Amino acid sequence: MDELVVDTLIIGWGKGGKTLAGTLGRLGRSVALVERSTQMYGGGCINIACVPTKDLVHSAEQRRPSDDPQAWFSASVVGRDTLVEKLRERNHEMLAGVPAVTLIDGRARFTGPHEVEVSAGAERLLVSADTIVINTGTAPARPGIPGAESSPRVHDSESIQHIEPFPKSLVVVGGGYVGLEFAGMFSHFGAAVTVVDRNEQLMPREDRDVADAVAALLAESGVEFLQGATVVQIDEGDAGASVTVEIDDGARTIEGEAVLFATGRRPVTADLGLDAAGIVVDHRGFVVVDERLRTSVPGVFAIGDVNGGPQFTYISLDDNRIVLSQLTGTGERTTADRVAVPSVTFLSPPVARVGLNEIEARASGRRLLRAGKKIVDIAAMPRPKIVGETHGLIKVIVDADTDLVVGATVFSVDAQEVINLIALAMRAGVTASELRDGIWTHPSSTEALNEVLGGLVPLR
C-alpha cells in the first residue's frame, strides 16, 4: 500500500474544507483533500444544495401560466446542470493550481487517530497527518415509513431536482425551510402541491403573523397545507403514490404523482471508521466538537454540517476561520464569537430573519420597541412595486434602553440582502436611529428602513 504524509488532511470538499485547503496550501503547508465523488468537487452547496436549488427557484419564478410545465422544468434542469458543471470545474481548478495541495479521489476511513486509508476500487492509499479535518457534511434523511424506501415515486431534496417526468401533483412531507422552498418552486413550475406538516402551525419558530403571511403567499400559488399530520404509509399506485396520514385521530389518503421527503438531514459519518480513531459522535451520528471545533482526538477537527451546528454554508466558512486561527493564528476565535447570524428561506419573495422574534423578545424581560409594516404599505420602498412583487412584511425589534436592534424579520424582495445589513448593524452596534436616518440608494429595498423604523412603538 502506498503511503502519503502531509501536514493537513481534509476529508470532504465542502465550503469550509476547500477554503482551508486553499489557504494552507498557499502558505506552503502540504495538504491532502479527499473526496469520494467526482460530482461533489466544490462541496454540497454548489452541487446539490444552495446554488442549484436557488437556480431552480429563479427559473420557476420566470415561468408564465401559458408555458408548458414539463418543457419549462426540463429546460430549467439543463440550465441548472450547466451552471453546476461550470462551478464544479472552477472549484477544482482553484485547488489543482496550488502545488502544495494534493487532490485525492476515493473513500476515506480512519485506521487510527491520525491515519486514514483511502480506497478507490482496488487501489489503497494510507494518508497520515498531524492535523485532520472531517468535512463530510450531511445527506437527506428518510424516516422508516413503510413504502418510503421502495417506491420510485419517493424523492429527497437531491433526487427531485432531476425528477422525470415532471409531476402534475406533488406531496411534500415536512414544512421546514427546505420543504417550503420546494413547495413554492414546484408550484411555480406548475405542479399541484400539498404540504404535510406534523406541526399544528406552519413555521412554529416564527411569529404567527410571519407564518400566516408565508402560508397565504404559498396558498395564493396553489399550495395546500395539512397541518398536525403524520405520514404513516406510502403505497404505489398506477398513476402515483398514495400517502396515508394520521390527523385528528383519524386517517386520510393523499394522492400524488411524486412525494418529496423534506424531513431533515443525517451526518455522513457511518463509514468513516471514527471508532478506530476514538472520535466521539452523538446519538444521531454527528461528530462532537467543542467551541474550537476540536473533536475528542487532539489534532482532529470537524467542520461544516457534520459537527451538528447550524447547517448553512456561511457557517462552514466560519468554521474554516476558527480552525485556521488555531493552525496559523492565536487560536482565540470560537463559535461563541458568532453574533447575529441571519437565515433565509428562499420563497418568492424570500423570508429572512436575524436575532430575536417577538415571542423570544418578550421572554427576554427587556423593555422593547417594535416597528412593522406590510410591504404593500411602505411608501418609501417602491422597488417591490417596480418588480411586481409586493407580498410580505418587515418588522424590527429594538431595545428601548440602548436603541440597538435585537431582531428583525424581512419577508420581501431582496430580503436576503437587507437582512445582511441589519445583521451587520447588530454586530457593529449601529443603532436603530442610525438605520432609520441612513442615506440609502433609491429605489432600493434598504430604504424601507427609513419608514419602518420611524414607527417604533412599545412591544407589549
Task: Provide the annotated active-site residues.
Answer: 442
d(CA 194, CA 188): 13
Please name the residues in contact with 203: beta carbons below 8 A apart, sequence gap of 6 or more.
Answer: 175, 180, 210, 211, 214
Give me the long-range contacts of 442-445 (CB less than 8 A, separation at least 24).
Answer: 442/382, 443/381, 443/382, 443/383, 443/386, 444/383, 444/414, 445/381, 445/383, 445/384, 445/412, 445/413, 445/414, 445/415, 445/417, 445/418
Strand 154-155, strand 258-261: pairing: parallel
Residue in the structure block whose three cell numbers are 434598504: 446
C-alpha cell read off for 257: 404523482
Residue with C-alpha cell 424531513? 263
Residue whose C-alpha is closest to residue 236's, from 153, 175, 301: 153
Q: Name the helix (H) or strand (E) containing 107.
A: strand 107-112
Q: How far is the C-alpha of 8 from the C-alpha of 10, rounded, in Å?
A: 7
Q: Which long-range contacts (CB under 8 A, 24 or more apart) does 115-120 make?
A: 116/9, 116/11, 116/34, 117/1, 118/34
In this structure, the chain runs to a length of: 460
Label residue 389 exposed, middle or buried (CB < 10 Å: 0-12, 13-18, 19+).
Answer: middle
CB 244 within 8 A of CB 234: yes
Angstrom distance (rounded) from CA 308 to CA 448: 36
Cα 357 to chain centroid distance, Å, stands at 20
φ/ψ of residue 44, rounded to 5:
-65, -35
- DSSP string covering 126-173, please? EEEEEEEEE---EEE-----TTTTT-TTEE-TTGGGG-SSPPSEEEEE
Task: Cite the DSSP H helix spans in 242-333.
Answer: 274-277, 313-328
Phi/psi for 399 (5° steps) reads -70, 120
Q: Tell me how far apart the alpha carbons of residues 97 and 91 are, in angstroms, rounded to a whole number.
A: 10
| Helix (H) or strand (E) run with residue 416 in it | helix 415-428
